[in-house]
Amino acid sequence: MRVSALIATVVTAALTLTACGGGADNAANQEATLRVAVSPVPHAKILNWVKNNLAASKNLKIEVVEFQDYVLPNTSLVDKQLEANYFQHVPYLTEFLKERGGDLKFVTPVHIEPLAVFSKKVKNIADLPSGGKVALSQDASNQTRALKLLQANGVLKLKPGTEAGAALKDIGENPKNLKFVELEPAQLARSLDDTDASIVNGNYAIDAGLDPIKGSLAVEKAENNPYANGLVTRPELAEDKRIKALAELLTSQQTRDYIQKEFGGAVIPA
C-alpha cells in the first residue's frame, strides 16, 4: 500500500508538471508562476505560508509541488520541469550532482532541521545494548552527519581525518559492536519498531510526530551547522527576479518568526 501511495504521488506530481507546460517557456517568462519542489514537512508548510501571506507583496505566483523522496525534486529541476526546489542542504546537493550529474545552484539557506537519534527501547543513548541495531541514512551526506552525531555523543569513534566524509567503513572504534542498517531517509522513522535506535532526518521526524528536541536520545547542535536546507535553482535562473524575490521572502524576518512559532526548536531559521 505504501509503494502504491508513493507511485500515485509521483504520477500525480508528474502529471501536474506536464500540465504546467514546457520548462523553457516558463523560465523565459519572468511573470510566470514559479514552480517549486518541496518535501511535505516542514518545507511545504513554510512555502505555503510564504505563498499565502507574503508572495503578493512581490507580485510573485508560486506553485508548490510536493515530493516524498530526495531524488525527484532535483531530477525534475535539472529536466526543466520546475524552476526551483527547497528541501536539501549543500552537502547533499554536492553529493547528488557528483553521482548523477546536472548543474544546480544553491541560492540561500533557509532553515536547519537538527538530525536526531530516536529509540523506543532505551531512554538514554549510553544504554544502547551491546550488539544493538542502529538505522541510519544510506545517502552519503546524511550518513556522515549521523556518524558525526554518534561520535559527538560517545557512541563510537571515527578514524582520524575521515570526519568530513565519513561512511560506515570509517568507524575506528565501536565499543558496543553496534550493527548498522542503511535505509532510505524516508524509512528511518518507520524503522523504530525494528531497531534499538534510528537516526532520523528532521523533516521525516516531524512528519512522524517525533520531537527532535524533547523526544530524542541525542540531537545535532544548531551552532555552525553546515546542513541548512535552502533554495536551489538552475544557474541560468539564479538572476531571475522570481528566484530573487522568493529567496528574499524565505529569509525575511516574517518567515523567521513563523518558523520559530510554528516549529519551535525542531526547525531553526538559518
Q: Three-state SS for 179? A: strand
The confidence score (pLDDT) of residue 117 equals 98
The confidence score (pLDDT) of residue 26 equals 62
| pLDDT, averaged in runs of 10, over the chain (270 residues) | 44 45 56 96 97 98 96 98 98 96 97 96 98 97 97 97 96 98 96 98 92 95 92 98 98 98 92
Nearest to 111 by CA among 261, 262, 259, 211: 259
- Cell of residue 86, nine digits: 527547497
The confidence score (pLDDT) of residue 6 equals 45
- Cell of residue 48, nine digits: 505555503
User: Domains of the chain (ranges plus CATH)?
Assistant: 2-114+226-269 (3.40.190.10), 116-219 (3.40.190.10)
Q: Evaluate whether 113 touches 203 at the Cβ level (below 8 Å).
A: yes
pLDDT digit string (tens) for 163-211?
A: 999 999 999 999 999 999 999 999 999 999 999 999 999 999 999 999 9
User: How many Å apart are CA 161 and CA 46, to the nearest integer?
Assistant: 37
The confidence score (pLDDT) of residue 29 equals 76
Residue 214 C-alpha from the chain's centroid: 20
The confidence score (pLDDT) of residue 263 equals 93
Q: Residue 29: exposed, middle, or buried by beta-carbon count in 10 A (0-12, 13-18, 19+)?
A: exposed
User: How many Å apart are CA 189 and CA 207, to the nearest integer?
Assistant: 9
pLDDT digit string (tens) for 94-122?
A: 999 999 999 999 999 999 999 999 999 99
Asked if the bond preceding 73 is cis, omega within 30° of 0, the reply is no
